[in-house]
Amino acid sequence: MSAEESVVIDPQAIKELQLLDAHLSDVDTEITAKQHLMNAPILAQRQSTIAKIPGFWAVVFDNAAAELEAAITPSDSEVFAKALTTVEVLRPEIPSGAKPTDLGLDKFGEPRSVTINFHFKENEWFSDSVLSKTLYYRHGKDRSAGLVSEPIKINWKAGKDLTEGLTDAAYALWATQKQNASQQLDGALAGDARKARDAAAKELPEYKNVVKLLGEKVNGAISFFNFFSYRGRWTSAQENAEARAEVKARRAAALAGKDEEEEDEDEDFDELDFAEEDVETFPPGHDVAVSIADDIWPNAIDYFLADSIDSDLEIDDEDDEDEDEDVEME
């Protein structure tokens, strides 16, 4: 297309657009919180109804497989069908007193952080009755932002580990790092300090073990249960706090019309050689968590009913997020 050619971009206008975009994103986040709060009483009622339908969540996850990027294998599906009793999604960083009528993002904490609980009945695969995964929405000092999490220990029964040792290895690495002074997982490292930490991480036997297993275990690597060891970018609460303060400062400077310091621009944010990349057992973890929390959880009834039953009580599910139905024609 030739559209771009005719565009003469005023740099100041671009700065303004970026600021406006940041404000629109804040509204999006606030809306996420409001919708969560408004849905909560309806979803609580839904849990009672779902309790009367054995296998509800297994059907939902089967029908929603496309949203999970095919992370669910036939073996995972079998576990869900035979043992998954309840799923629930919480927003641990929305303050308990928040109301849908509140206005202002500061009233809602960080609504994008989620806890996803999977409840299981006694089964042949593992001894846990609940697998609870909390993912925190965090900003990094490298200007990254996304969901990060700690690996969950799954107590697999002998010979039944669907991840072929990966969740154990990922958990062992994390546990070692937590106790190792060189790793400073609770710190706010950047630049050379981060590089030194990463270099030390790569020397840990537990790190090497995860790398080795990821190389060997193609089948194990694709089980959905690796979701429970997803970590994402290693970003501590401390680093998040500092990085958010920096974002605010940049915004304030932009609002005041000040150009950013050149030194800032020069930091090598694009260097993607973080130690965590080579030991991530579930790369789509951020996206899968967002799919579960923002799509599968609120729309579970639609996924369950799918094409099997034609509902005639709905008056308005035609133009929600997904726009791929053509209501009247064709």
What is the CA angle 212-216-220, rounded to 5?
110
Question: Is there binding between residue 42 and a second copy (CB under 8 A)?
Answer: yes
Tell me how far CA of residue 87 lies from CA of 77, 79, 119, 133, 161, in angstroms.
15, 14, 6, 11, 21
Burial class (CB in 10 A: 0-12, 13-18, 19+), 226: buried
Considering beta carbons, is residue 74 or 205 the nearer one to a second copy? 74
Among 75, 78, 85, 211, binds a second copy (CB under 8 A): 78
Q: Smallest gap, in angstroms, from Cβ of residue 131 to a second copy?
A: 18
One-letter amino acid at 60 equals V
Question: Is there binding between residue 91 and a second copy (CB under 8 A)?
Answer: no
Among 66, 96, 97, 101, binds a second copy (CB under 8 A): 101
Binding mask 164-203 for a second copy (x = CB under 8 A): ----------------------------------------
The count of residues interacting with a second copy (CB under 8 A) is 113
Residue indicated by tokens 């979803």: 43
Q: Smallest gap, in angstroms, from Cβ of residue 47 to a second copy?
A: 10
Question: Is there binding between residue 273 and a second copy (CB under 8 A)?
Answer: no
Question: Is there binding between residue 304 and a second copy (CB under 8 A)?
Answer: yes
Q: Please report, as residue ranges, which positions from 147 to 166 form the binding site for a second copy (by CB under 8 A).
A: 147-148
Considering beta carbons, is residue 45 or 96 the nearer one to a second copy? 45
Tell me how far CA of residue 10 lies from CA of 4, 46, 76, 272, in angstroms.
14, 52, 53, 31
- Show the DSSP H helices in 154-236 as ranges: 166-179, 191-201, 205-216, 218-221
